[in-house]
Structure 1
Amino acid sequence: MPLHVPPAPAPALRSVRTALGSPTAVREARTPSLKSAQTPLSPELPLPVHVLEHVPPDGGAPRTRLTGWRFLIKAGDRAVAAGEAMLTPDGWAFSHFFEGPYLASTELALRQAESLTTPYQPRLLSVPGLYMLTLWLHGDITADAASGLLAPGDLLVPLAPAPPGIAAHRPHRVADLLPVLTLRLSPAPLLKSA
């Protein structure tokens, strides 16, 4: 079943398009593929980027917040980089272009998600405390992409490279993966010296 990709805010898309049209922004980016592209570049497949801010140890609802929109930058039919717009006090602004393993991993996870029988709204969820990025498949396809409520039945697909002990590209229900994340994000107990 196809994914229901939410539309990005027009100013976020406009900021990335403007940066793609700026020789300075492209030249200063650490993205060789953008500099060497022989075909026109276009920002496609917008994904809202949420950050996991707090996982209550008592099993309460985790808190996330929207921090940006990520676009796959395509040259022809292949993604060569990603561009991100971030939310600032003045609205949406271009943040940066990048390449790296999360680009191919995101594309793979999206292809895998397209083959699922349940419709989902794709998002990205960053877990900074674990240096982890997941494709978040939200079950409410009509939800506002800025809302950050993780539902127990939503799926999280860790992108490669994933933290040790967490399999990349394997979908996990939020209710199953959240306890693992909670345990890993909890501070280690202090040992008393004798």
Structure 2
Amino acid sequence: MPLHVPPAPAPALRTVLTALSSPTAVREARTPSLLGARGPMTPELPLPLHVLDRGAPEGVWATRLAGWRFLIRSQDRAVAAAETVLTADGWAFARFFEGPYVASTERALRHAETVEGSYQPRLLSVPGLYMLTLWLHGDRAADPATGRPDATDLLVPLAPAPPGIAAHLPHRVEDLLPVLTHRVTPTRLLSSPA
């Protein structure tokens, strides 16, 4: 099996289980798929969620752990996701949500199982582009809370992807990051000569 899904921190998982068992938390989430789910709901496939930050010096990218995301399964499919964040007091439940990234994440993970090689799956958010990718990190034994994309890691943009970037196609980091850099870098307006 090429994917090595890292275990989530136990306190992060406990916060999701507590929220799932709370009718108030589920009701207040206003997530129709959770409200209409039949049978037990279980958090599965915990993935560390990293945010891609443009760092100094010019052209250097860094990541920071933003939390852990769990797919919430009911019967035979993922119906929602739950996110946790690290606070000064430890891991805390942040929110339930649904939408296209839930199914897209599940689809990308299934496809990643067929990719040649062995990877640790993570999520990588690119806020400047409103983009989320499945990050397939080549070091399966790495600490899932740290690190940055290696040139040979794979990024799989999730749907919906920004215009001009195909969703669900794996790209080497060394190929996709320059495209993202160009898109995120603000263009400088040139003043016209007087």
TM-score if structure 2 supplies the norm length? Answer: 0.96
Give distance in 2, aligned partners of 1:130 and 1:85: 22
| Paired residues of 2:105 and 2:158 also in contact (CA < 8 A) | yes
2:106 paired residue number:
107
String of CA shifts for 1:143-178, please: whole Å, max 9, x gaps: 000013110000000000000010000100000001
What letter corresponds to residue 116 of structure 1 in structure 2? V
Give distance in 2, aligned partners of 1:179 and 1:116: 23
Shift of residue 58, structure 1, vs aligned partner: 4.3
Specify the SS of the correspondent of 1:33.
helix
Percent identity (aligned): 73
2:78 paired residue number:
79
Give distance in 1, aligned partners of 2:42 and 2:182: 40
Give distance in 1, aligned partners of 2:59 and 2:84: 32
String of CA shifts for 1:2-48, please: whole Å, max 9, x gaps: 31000000010000000000111000112111111111011011000
Give distance in 2, aligned partners of 1:171 and 1:105: 13
Give distance in 2, aligned partners of 1:175 and 1:2: 21
Unaligned 5+ segments in structure 2 are: none
Where does 1:114-125 land on structure 2 (aligned, <5 Å)? 114-125=113-124
2:140 paired residue number:
141
Unaligned 5+ segments in structure 1 are: none
1:28 paired residue number:
28
Give distance in 2, aligned partners of 1:43 and 1:64: 25
